[in-house]
Chain A
Amino acid sequence: GENVEQHPSTLSVQEGDSAVIKCTYSDSASNYFPWYKQELGKRPQLIIDIRSNVGEKKDQRIAVTLNKTAKHFSLHITETQPEDSAVYFCAASVLLTGGGNKLTFGTGTQLKVEL
């Protein structure tokens, strides 16, 4: 089955700096790659996603890049702010034969933005 590895497990940056989180996946059939932000005690929140026919997607301070050949994708957060502090999860999904969406998650990155 699919396996998603995520690095680093913890990341500490100064406010205003950029943060980069990287993920690799194993199943070349994966075609959908979302990123979720989970604040303490709250639900995972979809912040950005990318599909396999796109190499890069940007939404304000957040961008995701995808390298299908290398089977890795990354989340980039620019001009970090204290409210960006949270756990970030990457995930990969394969469109299954019978339809359906089975997300395989990375192990998460605890991002801390320091003042």
Chain B
Amino acid sequence: KAGVTQTPRYLIKTRGQQVTLSCSPISGHRSVSWYQQTPGQGLQFLFEYFSETQRNKGNFPGRFSGRQFSNSRSEMNVSTLELGDSALYLCATSPLGGSYEQYFGPGTRLTVT
């Protein structure tokens, strides 16, 4: 099976802009979770989607949003970018999404200038 894929792999944006990141799960995986990884804060949970519905949410501001499509692909959107949003954004997918293994994609490196 093909692994989790994320596009784009690298992005450079300016403060105030918005960005959309994409995650395609492993075939058969229906749960997609998003994480932000930074040197200072480590890996932090953003939200999880399952069957096109946001099922769980972390402690991030409303500028961070997402959605999931019927084929389980997920997108994450960040509006009004701030310098502090510079990070590696990782998605992780799992087949059932309940205390099951999560498999990470390669991530999207976002740099905000």
CA distance A99 to B54 in the complex (A): 11
Interface string of A37-48 (1 = CB under 8 A from B): 000001111100
What are some 9 contacts across the A-B interface (CB < 8 A)?
A1-B59, A46-B103, A95-B99, A99-B97, A100-B56, A101-B33, A101-B99, A102-B56, A103-B92
Chain A residues touching B, majority SS: strand
Return the 7 tightest CB-CB contacts between A and B, nearest first: A105-B43, A32-B99, A100-B55, A100-B56, A43-B104, A95-B99, A44-B104
Most chain-A Cβ atoms within 10 A of its Cβ — which of B35, B56, B58? B56
CA distance A34 to B99 in the complex (A): 10
- Find out whether the CB atom of B98 lies under 8 angstroms from the CB atom of A99: yes
- A contacts with B, residue count (CB < 8 A): 28
| Chain B, range 24-52, C-beta contacts under 8 Å to A | 31, 33, 35, 42-45, 48, 50
- B contacts with A, residue count (CB < 8 A): 27
CA distance A32 to B99 in the complex (A): 6
Interface string of A96-112 (1 = CB under 8 A from B): 10111111111110000
List B residues at the A interface (Cβ < 8 Å): 31, 33, 35, 42-45, 48, 50, 55-56, 58-59, 90, 92, 94, 97-107
- Given A43-B107, A44-B90, A105-B42, A100:B101 Cβ within 8 A: no
Interface string of A45-69 (1 = CB under 8 A from B): 1100101000000000000000000
Contacts of A49 in B (CB 8 A): 101
CA distance A16 to B107 in the complex (A): 32
Partner of B98 from A42, A44, A45, A95 at Cβ < 8 Å: A95
- Find out whether the CB atom of A96 lies under 8 angstroms from the CB atom of B56: yes
Q: Does A93 contact B (CB under 8 A)?
A: yes
Contacts of B97 in A (CB 8 A): 99-101
- Find out whether the CB atom of B102 lies under 8 angstroms from the CB atom of A101: yes
Interface string of A1-36 (1 = CB under 8 A from B): 100000000000000000000000000000110101
- Find out whether the CB atom of A46 lies under 8 angstroms from the CB atom of B101: yes
| Chain A, range 53-88, C-beta contacts under 8 Å to B | none
